[in-house]
Amino acid sequence: MKVVIAHGIDLCEPYLDNRIALEAEAIMEAGHEVTVVCWARTVSGENVDGAEEEVVNEVNVRRVFSPASTPDKPLPKRIFEHLLAKQKISKIIKNLDPDIVHFNDLDTAVIALFWSNGPVWVYDAREYYAGMVSHLPWPLPDLANFLERLVVRRADGIITVSPVIMRRLASYGASSRILVYNSREPDRFVASRKPGELRRLWGVKTGELVVIYIGSLGPGRSIMEMIDAVDNMDQISFIVGGHGVWAREVRESAAKSGKTNFVGPIPSGDLPDYYAAADVVLGALDPAHPNHQLAMPNKLFESISAGRPLVAARGTLVGEVIEKEGIGEVTDYGNREGMIRALGKLRNPEIRKKYGDRGLKLAKGEYGWRWQARKLRALYRSIAKA
């Protein structure tokens, strides 16, 4: 069968979307042909200048070039740009004539609501979308809720990343549904260089605790709070990388700090090296943000695959998982002293190893990608039979 994966941002810039890459690989292993159709822009709204068509990891990629704006631009302008881009994405999908369309997130899945007839399609809810846009003015959050209910009821299959989001979608009437975590595979999440090389490059002194955060740079992720915390501690370094709306602010704050090193966007293939060179992973999301409450973020799966403890925030799903499984420390969000206490406990290498070993066991079992890939292929088989 021909499968199209639709994505609202670029697949490869500033680095490869790991989840889509793994999903495409799993689908191709089942004998299907995969094309990713993506809007050539970053998550922060910058336009991407790439090839219109290329092959990445044996996956066909088709870019849609359409105007895009950063979040600081007027909202009506951004809404118009989204509508225009979705129209172009829809046209390309129809021209490809796929058997199945795999929509990533609500911003692409709404395309199917305007099809009078079309291919079988699945909705992959990687976020609690209404919660993610809850900061935008009314009626946008309510509209997102309304549209998601329609999408869930009409989709031929539902995929999501969090059990809490799954319960929400089930309440909307989702029938054929599976949970596919943003997992990694520990056997493939292996460093290719010695940890000491990066630590020397970062200027880490012997005996220092290294905390790392690589991901989206924006509010509600404890990045600025961690910079403040390490500035008030001894024998510690903070490595922060990624891209997003706060990239400039993070870079400037890191430059003022004597203990934070900003490393910019990091390709997904280099993540194992960075995690191997670190001791602790930061993943403390703000529970006041509805989407953060329900998230099972990449940081969780990256940290357990690397055998590293995670620091998370109370009041979030990932915080509950960490406490239940004993794979890291939990602190109150935004509490500098609480974060300092958590890091103080994690200075003990025996505690870090205990948490890391427990995490690795999870990563090789129910939280591992092999199991997620089996579930994904099972959904595709059931859709194909129907």
What pLDDT does residue 385 have? Answer: 76
Query: Is residue 251, in this structure, part of any structural domain at all?
Result: yes
pTM recorded for the entire structure: 0.92
Largest Cα separation within the chain, whole Å, is 64
Are 147 and 121 part of one and the same domain?
yes
User: What's the pLDDT tens digit per position in 202-249?
Assistant: 999 999 999 999 999 999 999 999 999 999 999 999 999 999 889 999
pLDDT given at position 194:
86
Alpha helices in 243-306 (DSSP H): 247-256, 271-276, 290-294, 298-306
| Same-domain check for residues 375 and 234 | no
Q: Considering the domain boundaries, does residue 208 fall inside one?
A: yes
Mean model confidence pLDDT for the chain: 94
Please tell me whether residues 105 and 164 are part of one structural domain: yes
Contacts of 352 (CB under 8 A, 6+ apart): 279, 280, 308, 309, 346
Q: Are residues 27 and 167 located together in one domain of the fold?
A: yes
Q: Is residue 76 one of the residues assigned to a domain? A: yes
Are residues 290 and 210 part of one domain?
yes
Residue 129 has pLDDT above 90, yes or no: no
- Same domain as 166, residue 269: no
pLDDT for the residue numbered 72 = 87
190 found inside a domain: no
Please give the average per-residue pLDDT across 80-109, as a whole number: 97
Burial bucket for residue 327 (CB in 10 Å: 0-12, 13-18, 19+): buried
Separation between Cα atoms, residue 17 and residue 167, nearest integer Å: 26
Write the DSSP symbol of residue 94.
H
- Write the CB contacts of 253 (distance below 8 Å, at least 6 apart in sequence): 224, 227, 260
Calculate the alpha carbon distances from 341 to 13, 18, 310, 344, 384 in Å.
Answer: 37, 33, 14, 5, 52
Q: Which of 16, 14, 34 is closest to 24 using CA atoms? A: 34
Q: What is the pLDDT of residue 151?
A: 97
DSSP 3-42: EEEEESS-SSSSS--HHHHHHHHHHHHTT-EEEEEEESB-
Does residue 240 share a domain with residue 94?
A: no
What is residue 149's predicted lDDT score, i.e. its pLDDT? Answer: 96
Read off the pLDDT of residues 147-170 as tens digits, 9 standing for 90 and up: 999 999 999 999 999 999 999 999
| pLDDT tens string 177-209 | 999 999 999 999 999 888 889 999 999 999 999
* Residues 334, 375 within the same domain: no
Q: Work out the average pLDDT over 103-114.
A: 96
Tell me which DSSP letter residue 71 carries: T
Residue 219 is assigned to a structural domain of this protein: yes
- Does 210 map to a domain? yes
- The 10s digit of each residue's pLDDT in 24-82 is 999 999 999 999 999 999 988 899 999 999 999 999 999 999 999 988 899 999 999 99
Span 312-326, average pLDDT: 97
Instruction: State whether 24 and 116 are in the same domain.
Output: yes
Q: Read off the pLDDT of each residue in 294-321 and give the average, rounded to a whole number.
A: 96
* Within-domain flag for 215: yes
CATH (domain of 356): 3.40.50.2000
Please tell me whether residues 356 and 372 are part of one structural domain. no
Asked if 20 and 140 sit in the same domain, the reply is: yes
Q: Is residue 283 very low, low, confident or very high in pLDDT (cuts 50, 70, 90)?
A: very high
* Residues 327 and 378: beta-carbon distance below 8 Å: no
Please name the helix (run of DSSP H) or strand (run of DSSP E) that holds residue 106, with its range, or none. Answer: helix 106-109
Confidence at 386, pLDDT banded by 50, 70, 90: low
Strand partners, 214: 241
What are residue 262's DSSP bridge partners?
240
374 and 359 fall within a common domain: no
Task: Give the domain extent around 351.
Answer: 195-363
Structure tokens at 118: 């079309």
Q: How many structural domains compose the chain? A: 2
* CA proximity to 251, closest of 236, 240, 259: 240
The number of beta carbons lying within 10 Å of the beta carbon of residue 35 is: 20
